[in-house]
């Protein structure tokens, strides 16, 4: 009986020891992992000084620039990203499914509805990348959509006459090749959202508490917390049109208790 008890205790001690070693190894791996920022190329100039963040975080900082939000979001869902940019409608529509985190900054952004020539089309075919953004830019218009994740694909389809209009970021616009039909800013939306993941949001260390300020300082333009009126307007429209199942409060979506 005593031998059995000793064996059981030995097994328990062994399991605890292995678990402690594994946990220590896992924490060390996390500490050594780089801080990864994922953005689309439309925000590349804003993050030109990203390497300066390394000194504040005492770890390597990696900036990954994606051609489109679809590729960026795959990286986000894989859990390999610490902070990322996203358009406001996608953020709200996918909020319940996103890896936990909150928006910390509003990034200046503009989207255009463009065409190769001026003229009304009764039922235009739109090259798009985001369904909710397209819906609100063209609300009240009957249209068909063709999804192209990359801006280059949308522009090529427009030039080839496969679509009548395309929605692109202002960073991808070339005045020589297309006309601007409508701007998203005329509807009251002029920023994307920059999101910080949960481990950093919940950190009670001095570094965690100051990370928002550290990120703000390395940006090439002055930024602030996402605009509450704009975010709540988008949320209300999505909820009213049953594109999201529940209403959100600003405090649910944004980390605004900044030092």
pTM confidence score: 0.82
pLDDT at 205: 54
pLDDT at 124: 93
3-state secondary structure of 154: helix
**Architecture label for domain 111-187:** 3-Layer(aba) Sandwich (3.40)
Distance CA 40, CA 10 (A): 53
∠ Cα 129 64 232 (to 5°): 50
Confidence band of 120 (pLDDT split at 50, 70, 90):
confident
pLDDT at 125: 95
Distance CA 84, CA 35 (A): 11
pLDDT at 18: 45
Decide: 194 and 85 in contact? Cβ < 8 Å. Answer: yes
C-alpha distances out from residue 59 to 24, 31, 34, Å: 18, 8, 6
Worst-scoring range by mean pLDDT, 7-11, 47-51, 90-94, 190-194? 7-11
Task: Give the tens place of pLDDT for each residue, 164-197.
Answer: 999 999 999 998 889 999 999 999 999 999 999 9
Distance CA 87, CA 107 (A): 9
In the predicted model, what is the mean pLDDT of residues 38-57? 94
Task: Give the tens place of pLDDT for each residue, 192-223.
Answer: 999 999 888 876 555 555 888 999 999 999 99
In the predicted model, what is the mean pLDDT of residues 30-44? 86
In the predicted model, what is the mean pLDDT of residues 82-93? 95
Token readout for 42 is 């439309």
Query: Is the per-residue pLDDT at 109 higher than 50?
Result: yes
| Non-local CB neighbours of 12 within 8 Å, separated by 6+ positions | none
- Considering the chain, what percentage of its residues have pLDDT values greater than 90? 68
| Residue 182 burial by Cβ neighbours in a 10 Å radius (0-12, 13-18, 19+) | middle
E strands present in the chain:
35-40, 61-66, 83-86, 101-108, 111-115, 125-128, 144-147, 165-169, 179-183, 191-197
Task: Give the tens place of pLDDT for each residue, 3-20.
Answer: 566 665 555 655 665 444
| Non-local CB neighbours of 25 within 8 Å, separated by 6+ positions | none
Confidence band of 128 (pLDDT split at 50, 70, 90):
very high
34-108+192-253 belongs to which CATH class? alpha beta
Distance CA 167, CA 235 (A): 21
Q: Where are the alpha helices (DSSP H) in 160-227?
A: 198-201, 206-218
- Tell me 226's DSSP state: P
- Which of 127, 109, 102 shows the shortest CA–CA distance to 200? 102
pLDDT at 230: 95
pLDDT at 129: 93
Q: What is the mean pLDDT of the chain?
A: 86
Distance CA 5, CA 45 (A): 65
Do the bridges between strand 35-40 and strand 61-66 make them parallel or antiparallel, or are there none, so unpaired? parallel
Token pair 């030092």 is at which residue? 259
Worst-scoring range by mean pLDDT, 28-37, 48-57, 111-120, 247-256? 28-37
């Amino acid at each position: 009986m005593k031998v059995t008890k000793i064996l059981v205790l030995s097994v328990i001690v062994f399991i605890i020891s292995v678990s402690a070693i594994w946990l220590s190894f896992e924490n060390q791996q996390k500490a050594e992992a780089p801080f990864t920022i994922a953005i689309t190329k439309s925000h590349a100039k804003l993050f030109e000084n990203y390497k300066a963040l390394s000194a504040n975080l005492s770890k390597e900082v990696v900036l990954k620039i994606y051609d489109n939000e679809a590729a960026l979001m795959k990286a986000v869902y894989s859990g390999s990203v610490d902070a990322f940019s996203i358009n406001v409608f996608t953020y709200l529509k996918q909020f319940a499914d996103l890896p936990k985190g909150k928006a910390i900054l509003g990034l200046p952004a503009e989207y255009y509805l463009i065409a190769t020539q001026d003229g009304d089309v009764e039922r235009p075919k739109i090259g798009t990348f985001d369904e909710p953004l397209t819906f609100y830019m063209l609300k009240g218009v009957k249209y068909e959509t063709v999804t192209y994740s990359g801006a280059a694909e949308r522009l090529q389809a427009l030039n080839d006459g496969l679509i009548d209009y395309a929605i692109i970021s202002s960073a991808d616009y070339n005045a020589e090749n297309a006309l601007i039909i409508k701007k998203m800013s005329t509807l009251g939306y002029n920023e994307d959202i920059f999101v910080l993941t949960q481990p950093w949001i919940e950190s009670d260390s001095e570094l965690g508490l100051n990370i928002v300020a550290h990120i703000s300082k390395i940006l090439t333009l002055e930024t602030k917390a996402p605009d509450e009126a704009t975010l709540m307007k988008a949320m209300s429209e999505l909820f009213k049109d049953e594109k999201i199942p529940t209403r959100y409060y600003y405090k649910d979506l944004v980390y605004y208790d900044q030092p």
